[in-house]
Amino acid sequence: MINLNNLILDNNNKTSGLNFNKSENDKKVYIETYGCQMNYSDTEIVLSVLSKSGYNETTDINNADAILLNTCSIRENAEKKIFYRLDALRYFKKRNPNLVIGILGCMAERLRKDLLENKKIVDIIVGPDEYRKVPQLIDNVFETGEKGIAVKLSKVETYDDIIPIRRDGVSAWITIMRGCDKFCTYCVVPFTRGRERSRKLTSIIDEAKRLYDEGVRDIWLLGQNVNSYKFENYDFSDLLKQVAISVPKMRVRYTTSHPYDLNLKLLETMAEHDNICKYIHLPIQSGSDRILKLMNREYSVSDYMKVMHKAREMMPGIGFSTDIISGFPTETEEDHKMTINVMKEVMYDYAYMFTYSRRPNTKAFRMEDDIEPEVKTRRLDEIIELQRDMSYESNKKLIGKITNVLIETISKKSDDYLMARTDCNKSVIIPSLPQKTYVDKSGDLILNNNYKIGDFIDVRISKCNSATLFGETVE
Ligand code: SAH
Ligand code: SF4
Ligand code: F3S
């Protein structure tokens, strides 16, 4: 399972080789996904669409008839990474001239046919609202050698009827809305993902129930701005409530919420239902009202603080994470200090921190990118260092406490440990000793004889570092 801690996954994570429908056409597709959780969720949709047309997924790039990169445009570096990757893929194309190479996702939408013209090895370009056409476009290259492009943005496409092909695991994403109408001045997403539209409430509920039956115990309702969810008369709080009631033993989370739209009704809904996680990813971006205005974020620092304090008053112990951009045009040392002060006041459990990257077509592109790269980096380093200290402090507070965790996977570092997660989204390493894992007669993986992946158990936190908690099981 991909690390859900990362809102932005710039890493080159690969899907895990799902063997879907036996092939009609024997063709194998290899997909790499970059960017945010929406992209990972979309890859699951693409896999589903491909499987219906008889394609198989391979995790061995050497074996692939088609290589697809599901790409991200959020910062210049995210795009650079794809250009390097395309250079590396030349080797595969040389070895197999029939190999189809495709660019999906936000770069496909942003760069469109420029990509086909500038990158000769690319055969197909497919934007986020045209994934139903992926098999047809690949077929066409195989059959006629003709390159293809499908980048229309839709006002209605939600892939409602498509059952995503997911990785095994106890966590799953459910995309509830697509697009973004916020137009923060620095951000490409409204251009790459188009207008906001929401998925049918009943189809979300059905998906949640089906996932529970399949063994999933933790769902993330996904959208660039989930608070904008609107279907018939239902808003996001209504949806969240319905989901929480429909799958009462499932942990329910959501991301991302915009501070402007986070209202009392949503906080009340969270407080009312035990299975809605007490954790909010609430990006502040900057601690300076002047910069927030330039970013078109539509809230002031004091609005943000009001929401945060209210949430803490209603749900003591609630976790907060955030996104911060350092070095937005005109940001002064004073503005930067304000961001540092806000971070100290909120005491975030986690933060995703970036230097500003100037993106074509955005409103901020017209502003001079006037903060020297060294200054941006130095400010970012200060922010990162402060966050590390605060994450450590927030983790230390849990030492000695008993907390309920969901066991998610075997620890990456050792089979003797398991990785579990708290309600507040903190990972906890617990021993799987004294009995190691074994497979029982029915083929189930048994851990420690008492608990297994997918179980909720109480653990006592014994130690921590800034990123991870360590716990012991409570008899
Ligand atoms: N919809 C989400 C964020 C999506 S993008 C929200 O509004 O919270 C994730 C994060 O990337 C943003 O919150 C922002 O911090 C960062 N980001 C977006 N555009 C950026 C840019 N041009 N330069 C640097 N960081 C950026
Ligand atoms: Fe980008 Fe703002 Fe939309 Fe988030 S809310 S995706 S930062 S435009
Ligand atoms: Fe990147 Fe597109 Fe997500 S730009 S952050 S993959 S919506």
DSSP per residue, 12-23: EEE------S--
Amino acid at residue number 189: V
Q: Ligand 1 centroid to 123 CA: how many Å?
A: 29
Single out the residue in 371, 396, 421 at which a domain terminates: 396
Average pLDDT, the chain: 91
Q: Ligand 1 centroid to 202 CA: how many Å?
A: 30
In a domain, 12, yes or no: no
Atom of ligand 1 lying closest to residue 281 CA: 8
Contact yes or no for 389/463 (Cβ under 8 A): no
Tell me the CATH number at 246: 3.80.30.20
pLDDT at 436 over 70: no
Same structural domain, 207 and 341: yes
151 CB near ligand 2 (under 6 Å)? no
The three-state secondary structure class of 115 is helix
Distances 427 to 275, 385, 417, 418 between C-alpha atoms, Å:
18, 20, 12, 10
Mutate to test the pocket of ligand 3, among 189, 255, 361 (most ligand atoms within 8 A of CB): 189
Single out the residue in 396, 415, 449 at which a domain terminates: 396
Phi, psi at 344, each rounded to 5°: -65, -35
pLDDT digits (tens, 9 = 90+) for 88-111: 999 999 999 999 999 999 999 999
Q: Ligand 3 centroid to 104 CA: how many Å?
A: 11
pLDDT digits (tens, 9 = 90+) for 181-225: 999 999 999 999 999 999 999 999 999 999 999 999 999 999 999
Within 10 angstroms of residue 218's Cβ, the number of other Cβ atoms is 23
In a domain, 5, yes or no: no
In a domain, 11, yes or no: no
Across the range 333-342, mean pLDDT stands at: 98
Same structural domain, 379 and 450: no
Grade residue 5 by pLDDT with cuts at 50, 70 and 90: very low
State the pLDDT at residue 8. 33
Across the range 333-348, mean pLDDT stands at: 97
In a domain, 411, yes or no: yes
> Could you give the CA distance from residue 336 to residue 373 in angstroms, rounded to a whole number?
15
Grade residue 24 by pLDDT with cuts at 50, 70 and 90: low
Atom of ligand 3 lying closest to residue 8 CA: 5
Q: Whose CA is nearest to atom 14 of ligand 1?
A: 323
Atom of ligand 1 lying closest to residue 74 CA: 19
Across the range 286-311, mean pLDDT stands at: 97
User: What proportion of the chain, given as a percentage, has pLDDT over 70?
Assistant: 92
192 CB near ligand 2 (under 6 Å)? no
Poorest-confidence range of 8-12, 36-40, 202-206?
8-12
In a domain, 7, yes or no: no
Same structural domain, 391 and 406: no
In a domain, 92, yes or no: yes
Across the range 466-473, mean pLDDT stands at: 93
Q: Ligand 2 centroid to 266 CA: how many Å?
A: 20
Among residues 43, 78, 70, which one has the least CA distance to residue 357? 78
Same structural domain, 209 and 333: yes
In a domain, 290, yes or no: yes
Q: Ligand 1 centroid to 55 CA: how many Å?
A: 34
Same structural domain, 365 and 407: no
> Could you give the CA distance from residue 366 to residue 388 in angstroms, rounded to a whole number?
34
Tell me the CATH number at 143: 3.40.50.12160
Same structural domain, 113 and 225: no
Q: Ligand 3 centroid to 189 CA: how many Å?
A: 6
Q: Ligand 2 centroid to 261 CA: how many Å?
A: 13
Query: Could you tell me where the DSSP H helices lie in 132-263?
Result: 134-144, 189-193, 201-213, 236-246
Same structural domain, 211 and 276: yes
Same structural domain, 106 and 46: yes
For the entire predicted model, the pTM comes to 0.90
Same structural domain, 418 and 460: yes
Residues with CB under 6 A from ligand 1: 8, 74-75, 186-187, 189, 224-225, 256, 258, 283, 285, 323, 325, 354, 356-357, 359
In a domain, 376, yes or no: yes
Strand ranges in 58-153 using DSSP code E only, listed in sequence order:
66-71, 100-105, 124-126, 148-150
Same structural domain, 411 and 384: no
pLDDT digits (tens, 9 = 90+) for 221-278: 999 999 999 999 999 999 999 999 999 999 999 999 999 999 999 999 999 999 999 9
Phi, psi at 245, each rounded to 5°: -75, -40
State the pLDDT at residue 118. 83
Task: Give the number of the ligand closest to the Cα of residue 324.
Answer: 1
Segments forming the whole domain that contains residue 468: 402-473
Tell me the CATH number at 444: 2.40.50.140
Task: Give the number of the ligand closest to the Cα of residue 376.
Answer: 1
- Domains in the chain: how many in total? 3
Single out the residue in 376, 396, 416 at which a domain terminates: 396
Same structural domain, 388 and 408: no
State the pLDDT at residue 447. 56
Same structural domain, 297 and 373: yes
Mutate to test the pocket of ligand 3, among 11, 38, 81 (most ligand atoms within 8 A of CB): 38
Grade residue 473 by pLDDT with cuts at 50, 70 and 90: confident
224 CB near ligand 2 (under 6 Å)? yes
